[in-house]
Chains A and B, each alone.
Chain A
């Protein structure tokens, strides 16, 4: 028996995703251009490019920021999350077009370098700060856009998994969370610039609605996450914590649980119980929301694989996640709160059919709500 590994190139789903993303970006640009030409036929080509690219990029940025919480709230949005970085790069290209044309248009061909003029056109630094205190509407808007673009540049440049591997998942994810800082800077850029020059209420209303919508989605997703975290059981004995009932997970599936304040994933695989870290090594995806496919835990975000027995990715991949010892007793799954040493091969806890059927026993899920709690395990169910 042999295994053949094939590099994941632009498969059908990626191609469809990219075509739709570029189609939407193109439709956004076309909508802006056509509407503007109909309403303002005297507009210059430069103004068309600057504004069409800017508003298409802002719109795409809202979409990008909405995908994360949407996928948390409903897993059916996960296909949008899988190639989200492609949307990010598309949005960066639009923002770059806006920045280059605007910088040339407003700052080039003058008596100062355009890159210097971007920062100094309005006056000296001290004067700018005084102005900000006295009358914020006259604060220069350009620097906010420049800093946002630099952030987006770093994000686009490091979007490939090559950089994820070399920078490390934690740093990479932290860098890419800066998209929220970039979003705030973009809002300031538009509020201090475009909105100061326009009389219509639509752009301000649209940005406000976008902000409220994103804040609501993130709030709902956070509330859902907190609900998981609240299932904390203070029953740790002998280093084991009850996390769920045996009927809480079906074969081939995982479940996110909380043990000693940490999120773990418990799995039922070929009739045995396993527990692993819930954090995917790739981008921190919630492994417990994944499935076991071809004997491997499969992350719901980008499909990274780990073996439930030892937490290792199948060869030739080398990623490893932590595993935990598991016991099953009184139809209850108990997980050792401390992880085993990396690469420890777990045999898995075999669920006792009689215990699994004992539905009348107290449920751990009732703990803290007046229900009686089960006794801690006396011996390892998997030994």
Chain B
């Protein structure tokens, strides 16, 4: 019969009992830390992209509100670059900016970037300056129709996907993607290419009503529509959309 008896409010545990507990705790710590390390090490890739949170840049260019909020920024060599424009948090471009469709504007915000796709978060509202009194045209931003397309992939919110969140796909991020799409962040279709790489195609409605539901975010969706290009930005103008798989 064990002679030792533990009383917690005394300053010292019985020696043999203390030794026993120390050994078991040490063994348990090793096992549990190994458990955590294995689980942490097996996490799926987080995704690429970057978000210059807290870093302000000046963005200046020709703004197009439709079909996708784009800022065409001219480079010194004359070749322009498109920035998708979004608002702060889980919001798309605000209405106050949409009224300047076709105008040259300047604002301060933060850069979001992934695989050459650029996005500007307008997060300093009082920094907006309208530089041209009347709408302008940029021939590089004219819409070029690429053809009909049937595309399947995960419906993502492009702001998170391009770098704000890593990871920004799947079930754990689904509620966030729903909030972002509901708040006006442009949706995208994450398409798995045959070479293994994933690309995101900007998605806009090609018909009167939006043919998808924001609650489909984070799930596999198939879309039929017309693929167009404005500058280097590919845009899928969706005519039909449906959930893929069971329960759709």
Please indicate whether A and B come from the same complex rather than being unrelated chains: yes
- Residues on A facing B (Cβ under 8 Å): 8, 11-14, 20, 24, 27-28, 31-32, 35-36, 39-40, 42-44, 46-47, 51-52, 55-56, 59, 63, 75-80, 82-83, 105-112, 117-118, 121-123, 131, 134-135, 137-138, 140-142, 192-194, 196-203, 206, 250, 290-291, 293, 298, 300, 302-303
B residues less than 8 Å from A141 (CB atoms): 171
Among A40, A59, A123, point to the contact of B32 (Cβ < 8 A): A59
Residues of A within 8 A of B117 (CB): none
Contact call B45/A76, Cβ cutoff below 8 A: no
- B5 to chain A: which residues have CB within 8 Å? 290-291, 293, 298, 300
The residue from B28, B43, B167, B245 contacting A63, defined by CB atoms under 8 A apart: B28
Contact in complex: B42, A122 (CB < 8 Å): no
Q: Which of these, B8, B11, B48, contacts A79 with CB under 8 Å?
A: B8
- Tell me, rounded to whole Å, the shortest Cβ–Cβ distance linking A295 to chain B: 14
User: Are A13 and B172 in contact, CB atoms less than 8 angstroms apart?
Assistant: no
- How far in angstroms is the closest Cβ of chain B from A69? 14
* Given contact pairs A105-B165, A106-B173, A196-B170, A121 touches B179 in the complex (Cβ within 8 A): yes
The answer to whether the Cβ of B55 comes within 8 Å of any Cβ in the partner chain is no
A12 partner residues in chain B, CB cutoff 8 A = 11-12
How far, in angstroms, from A202 to B247 measured CA to CA in the complex?
A: 28
Q: How far is the CA of A193 from the CA of B48 in the complex (A)?
A: 22
Which residue from chain B places its CB closest to the CB of A43 in the assembled complex?
B46
Cα-based distance from A298 to B8 in the complex (angstroms): 11
Contact between chains at A36 and B40 (CB < 8 Å)? yes
Instruction: Assess A123 versus B9: contact at CB under 8 Å? Given A63-B28, A106-B175, A196-B170.
Output: no
A35 to B40, CA, bound (A): 6
A300→B9 CA distance, assembly (Å): 11
Query: Which of A20, A46, A110 makes the CB contact (< 8 A) with B25?
Result: A20
Is B224 in contact with chain A by the CB < 8 A criterion? no
A-B contact pairs, 22 of them (CB 8 A): A28-B33, A35-B37, A35-B41, A44-B166, A47-B166, A51-B43, A55-B40, A63-B28, A76-B4, A76-B21, A80-B21, A82-B8, A83-B8, A109-B89, A109-B91, A110-B89, A111-B182, A118-B175, A134-B247, A141-B171, A200-B42, A303-B9
Q: B47, A42: Cβ atoms under 8 Å?
A: yes
Min CB distance, A97 to chain B, in Å?
Answer: 16
Q: Is the CB of B36 within 8 A of A47?
A: no
CB–CB A28/B88 < 8 A = no
Q: Does A77 contact B24, Cβ atoms closer than 8 Å?
A: yes
Contact (A197, B46) CB under 8 Å given A77-B21, A302-B8: no
Q: Which of B171, B175, B247 sits near A197, CB closer than 8 Å? A: B171
Interchain CB contact under 8 A, B9 and A8: yes
**A46→B170 CA distance, assembly (Å):** 17
Task: Encode contact with A along B86-123: 1 for CB under 8 Å, 0 otherwise.
Answer: 00111100000000000000000000000000000000
How extensive is the interface on chain B, given as a class?
35 or more
Q: Which residues of A contact B10 (CB under 8 A)?
A: 11, 13
Task: Decide yes or no whether B38 CB sits under 8 A from chain A.
Answer: yes
Query: Are B172 and A300 within 8 A (Cβ)?
Result: no
Identify the B interface with A (CB < 8 A).
Answer: 1-2, 4-13, 16-18, 20-21, 24-25, 28-29, 32-33, 35-48, 88-91, 165-167, 169-176, 178-180, 182-183, 215, 219, 245-247
Other CB < 8 Å A-B pairs besides A47-B167, A56-B36, A194-B172, 5 of them?
A59-B36, A76-B17, A197-B173, A198-B43, A206-B38
Residue of B nearest to A109 (CB): B89
| Central interface residue in B1, B9, B21, by most chain A CB within 10 Å | B9
B104 to chain A, nearest CB (A): 29
Q: Do B89 and A202 touch (CB < 8 A)?
A: no
Q: Please, how many angstroms separate the alpha-carbon atoms of A244 and B7 in the complex?
A: 27
How would you classify the secondary structure of chain A's contact residues: helix, strand, loop or mixed? Answer: helix
Q: Are the CB atoms of A135 and B29 closer together than 8 Å?
A: no
Give A300 Cβ to nearest chain B Cβ, in Å: 7
Do B33 and A117 have beta carbons less than 8 Å apart?
no
What CA separation (Å) do A123 and B245 show in the bound complex? 18
- Most B C-beta atoms less than 10 A away, residue of A42, A56, A106, A194: A106
Bound Cα distance from A51 to B24, whole angstroms: 27
Determine whether the beta carbon of A202 is less than 8 Å from that of B215.
no
Closest-CB distance, B102 to chain A (whole angstroms): 27
> Which residues of chain A are within 8 angstroms of B178 by Cβ–Cβ distance?
121-122
Nearest Cβ in chain B — how far from A177, in angstroms? 21
| B16 CB contacts on chain A under 8 angstroms | 76
Q: Which has the most chain A C-beta neighbours within 10 Å: B16, B48, B179?
A: B179
Task: Collect the chain A residues with CB atoms within 8 Å of residue B25's CB.
Answer: 20, 80
* Of B29, B36, B245, the contact of A35 (CB 8 Å cutoff): B36
- Shortest Cβ distance from B105 into chain A, in angstroms? 24
Query: Is A140 a contact of B175 with CB atoms below 8 Å?
Result: yes
Beta-carbon contact of A110 and B183 below 8 Å: yes
Identity of the chain A residue whose Cβ is nearest the Cβ of B7 in the assembled complex: A303
Contact residues in B for A14 (Cβ distance below 8 Å): 8
Among A20, A28, A77, A135, which residue has its beta carbon within 8 angstroms of that of B246?
Answer: A135
> What residues of B have a CB within 8 angstroms of the CB of A112 in the complex?
179, 182
Cα distance, A83 to B35, chains bound together (Å): 24
Instruction: Please give, as numbers and ranges, the residues of chain B lying within 8 Å of A36 by CB-CB distance.
Output: 40, 43
Q: Is the CB of A11 within 8 A of B9?
A: yes
Residues of B within 8 A of A303 (CB): 7-9
Among B13, B172, B173, chain A packs the most CB atoms within 10 A around the CB of: B172
**In the assembly, what is the distance between CA of A12 and CA of B182, in Å?**
55
Contacts of B11 in A (CB 8 A): 11-13
Check if B17 sits within 8 Å of A39, measured CB to CB. Answer: no
Chain A residue with the shortest CB-CB distance to B42: A200
Inter-chain contact B167/A197, CB cutoff 8 Å: yes
Q: How far is the CA of A112 from the CA of B171 in the complex (A)?
A: 19
